[in-house]
Amino acid sequence: MADLHALMKKLQKKNDSKIVLLVSDGLGGLPLEPGGKTELETANTPNLDELAKNGTLGRSIPVLPGITPGSGPGHLGLFGYDPLQFNIGRGVLEALGIDFELGPDDVAIRGNFCTLDDDGNITDRRAGRIASDIGVELCKKLDQIEIPGVEVFVRPVKEYRLVIVLRAKGLGGDIKDTDPQKTGVPPLEPVGQNEASQKTAEICKEFLRQAGEILKDDRPANLLTMRGIAKMPEIPTFEEVYGTRAAAIAVYPMYRGLARLVSMDVKDAGQTLESQMDCLEKIWDDYDFFFVHYKYTDSTGEDGNFAAKVAKTEEVDSCIPRIKALKPDVLIVTGDHSTPSKMKSHSWHPVPVLLSAENARFDGCQSFGESECIKGGLGQFEAKYLMSMAMAHAGRLEKYGA
């Protein structure tokens, strides 16, 4: 992958073109019955269908065939970073997403408040999805935890999610999650994968011990699990690789963190798709590349709500005219992974891709859906190559070789 980045740096050229990458999180789906339609195919999407008729369709593989990706690898692939080379911990992404500046001695942890019963077993992995204001107050309590030789920072993210940062010399960031991913069992013990990480794991154990005392009367959130425990990696910037000024228009902290990880400018985009479109219009003249993220096609899929995912897909369709009115040279609509409501989870299925550009090779597809994407001219490709295709269609790559 380093070779692809080296090639992008070598071939990149400046022009006035604009690229929009609209990521409808978890876009890909499955029919509920054999031979039926997916959520995307069921949705009424006249604007996306019009783009499909005049563009090129295909399917992307976020990591490798058969591998189910998390949101981090899924997005890094879309940004042109090989997710196998740049495996970024969720804690780092959450910390960056709330504008926490991570240093070289920091280990970042994504926390989920959870509910334990009297036997110490998890009854709710998300503590009933407590409101954000409750999470803020709980984090204030936990931020008082003291561990000798370690600086401890606890910050709220959203609802039941929080970030813990441990700062000390010599800490490793390779620790297994404590979330067992099921209820009816106790949280797992933090286990380090090497000596430095085991040192961090022991600190995590002490943090959790104190947290249990502090939260014992705070139902439903009477403990937390730790996930994505990691240190900040070295990673080349988006502008360095592609020569574009990039802006991120995302609502959820994690996706803002993903953009900040590759040094995109993360904009204040409000809380709705409409406010995101307002932001896009406002900053249009200031950037070359725009990453726009929409979360709710993923969360409805994880809830197993087929009809709700259809409705959220239609909401995505409704913003297309505002994007088209800005006349982007390249408009790509895709997802970071598939989240079929039938499965209530991320899946390994290829992700629908729509590329609209003046120099797109039209492929005869008439609508934007999984079945049409199978026939599309882009074929099936690894997501890490999407950016080179975007750059090419924007006229931002020189010819390679004589």
Flag whether pLDDT at 218 surpasses 80.
yes
Residues 340 and 271 both lie in one domain: yes
Q: Which DSSP state fits 148?
A: T
Shared domain for 281 and 195, answered yes or no, is no
Query: Same domain for 257 and 368?
Result: yes
Q: What share of the chain is helix, strand, coil (3-state, %, to 5)?
A: 35, 20, 45
Identify which has the larger pLDDT, 284 or 93: 284
Cα angle for residues 290, 295, 297 (degrees, 5° grid): 120
Domains held by the chain: number: 2
For the segment 290-328, what is each residue's pLDDT rounded down to a tens digit? 999 999 999 999 999 999 999 999 999 999 999 999 999
Same domain, 70 and 160: no
Asked if 271 contacts 250 with a C-beta cutoff of 8 angstroms, the reply is: no
Range of the domain at 65: 2-86+234-393
Structure tokens at 163: 């970030």
Same domain, 98 and 223: yes
Q: Can you give the pLDDT at residue 262?
A: 93
Instruction: Say which amino acid occupies 67.
Output: I
2 pLDDT exceeds 80?
no
The structure's pTM equals 0.84
> Is there a single domain that holds both residue 268 and residue 355?
yes
Return the ∠ at Cα 169 (arms to 164 and 171), rounded to 5°: 55
Q: Mutual orientation of helices 253-261 and 90-97 as an angle, nearest 10°?
A: 100
| pLDDT tens sequence across 30-85 | 999 999 999 999 999 999 999 999 999 999 999 999 999 999 899 999 999 999 99
Residue 402 located in a structural domain? no
